[in-house]
Structure 1
């Protein structure tokens, strides 16, 4: 679908209340396949490839040059424009890692579009000076070397070393997504994340149901980060997935999906059903 000057690739599966899931870096929409396959009989899932990832190519600028930086606000605006094109006023919005930061940005800038939040393995604060330099250096590296060396290096931090050995199909899926990411898109997003704002203030004003999920062995966003998110977001639910690292939805898909399934059931039970109203959903709510 043509949105904000680019063709966004996305899956639209199932029927019922809409749930939008946002992948992280450096992945694509296939990240969410276990959740979509299990829950699309009850919910409508809209799962896009972000700008510069998967089948959604980065938009070139003057003289055909690729953008140097894609801020989180650009990703957020793409999502809102996609919702507009699909005629969706308000949705459950979930994201993992960078996807969670994009979800936080949508909530900050367009909170009227968010009926509930799912934040998985994600970090709410602004980047540190050292982190900014590391992201900029990683951007230069992937442009210089391609995604292969980067993917090989970070695999056993994306999923636990044990799961690399014991879940070879998951490891191969993760490697395939990382290696298949266009380096220009990855580099632009890395630079954008280096300049991200602090979301703790806007998260403290969340007035919709929120679920915080984290892998118990996540090295990138450890459990204490999820606990901090949970403490900041009023009325939020925290779930820790044992035996998983940064990608619990792939490493322990049954446990992760079960957590999400129970959360969504509670959201819509309180809302009085898929089309009703309730504490977390205004009358125009999630449809």
Structure 2
């Protein structure tokens, strides 16, 4: 059963629905709301349990998160949108493509993976979820997840960006983070969904991403029938936050081309 998501909704034009990374909230899309809302309608939901959205009582599931997004689009009167997802948001975006392809005008995948977790990664997620539940705090995320979210260039040259990401991680609700880790651990591969996609796609990856590496980005781009790949220099896993200028320019060009094609 879907929960009602809190969503920021700014601008006008072709809708862009941007889904945030783990364990952040829609606050990560500040630069996109400011940089893209003069040309597009930018909708940034808080996925269930994060930011201003309730967690609900469903079993952990990426599909449930995708159904939440479909429901918020319906509530906002959006029949089709460019769906963008970063990291965990990419998993949700791919699930939405599988469950509600009619809602997807184009797809943007940033710092994410179409493969299921390896056994080792799955065990790590479940161990972290248990610690989050047991401790009732997010220190495990600060210690183990935060260091891999940004690249070394950001650590050296963009201390304010790193500080902002750290603050967003520290603000994560422990129960929601545990739920999301279990949902991600349970997800299957999405390559069949990508192969069946009938709309254009943009795959974005930071050249310093240690979590969703360039080979995985290329595998997604190769699986998609109509995709372009952008490698962002000097960015790690959160290329959307670390190099928002490069990300925004690419998304604006991609969405503008879709808008022209739809006329």
Q: Mark yes or no: TM-score above 0.5.
A: yes
CA contact (8 A) 2:207 2:232 kept: yes
Q: Identify the range of structure 1 (16-25 vs 257-266) with the bigger mean alpha-carbon deviation.
A: 257-266
Give the whole-Å Cα distance in 2 for the aligned partners of 1:164 and 1:155. 11
User: What is the aligned partner in structure 2 of residue 113 from structure 1?
Assistant: 103
Offset from partner CA, 1:193-247 (integer Å, 9 cap, x none): 1110111011101110100000001000001110000100012010000000001
Give the whole-Å Cα distance in 1 for the aligned partners of 2:105 and 2:183. 26
CA contact (8 A) 2:4 2:72 kept: no
User: What is the aligned partner in structure 2 of residue 28 from structure 1?
Assistant: 25
Give the whole-Å Cα distance in 2 for the aligned partners of 1:206 and 1:7. 27
Give the whole-Å Cα distance in 2 for the aligned partners of 1:179 and 1:215. 23
Q: Identify the range of structure 1 (179-188 vs 82-91) with the bigger mean alpha-carbon deviation.
A: 82-91
User: Which of 50, 67, 73 is the equivalent residue of 1:77?
Assistant: 67
Give the whole-Å Cα distance in 1 for the aligned partners of 2:177 and 2:194. 26
Q: TM-score normalised to the size of structure 2?
A: 0.95
User: What is the aligned partner in structure 1 of residue 86 from structure 2?
Assistant: 96
1:182 paired to 2:173? yes
CA contact (8 A) 1:152 1:175 kept: no
CA contact (8 A) 1:19 1:92 kept: yes
Give the whole-Å Cα distance in 2 for the aligned partners of 1:172 and 1:234. 38
C-alpha deviation, 1:189, in angstroms = 0.8
SS at match of 2:203: strand
User: What is the aligned partner in structure 1 of residue 236 from structure 2?
Assistant: 245
SS at match of 1:89: coil
Q: TM-score normalised to the size of structure 1?
A: 0.88
Offset from partner CA, 1:258-287 (integer Å, 9 cap, x none): 11111112111222xxxx2xxxxxxxxxxx
CA contact (8 A) 2:14 2:255 kept: no
Give the whole-Å Cα distance in 2 for the aligned partners of 1:79 and 1:199. 18
Give the whole-Å Cα distance in 1 for the aligned partners of 2:112 and 2:156. 25
SS at match of 1:174: helix
Output the aligned Cα RMSD: 1.4
C-alpha deviation, 1:7, in angstroms = 4.2
Give the whole-Å Cα distance in 1 for the aligned partners of 2:200 and 2:140. 40
User: What is the aligned partner in structure 2 of residue 170 from structure 1?
Assistant: 161
Structure 2, unmatched stretches of 5+, are: none
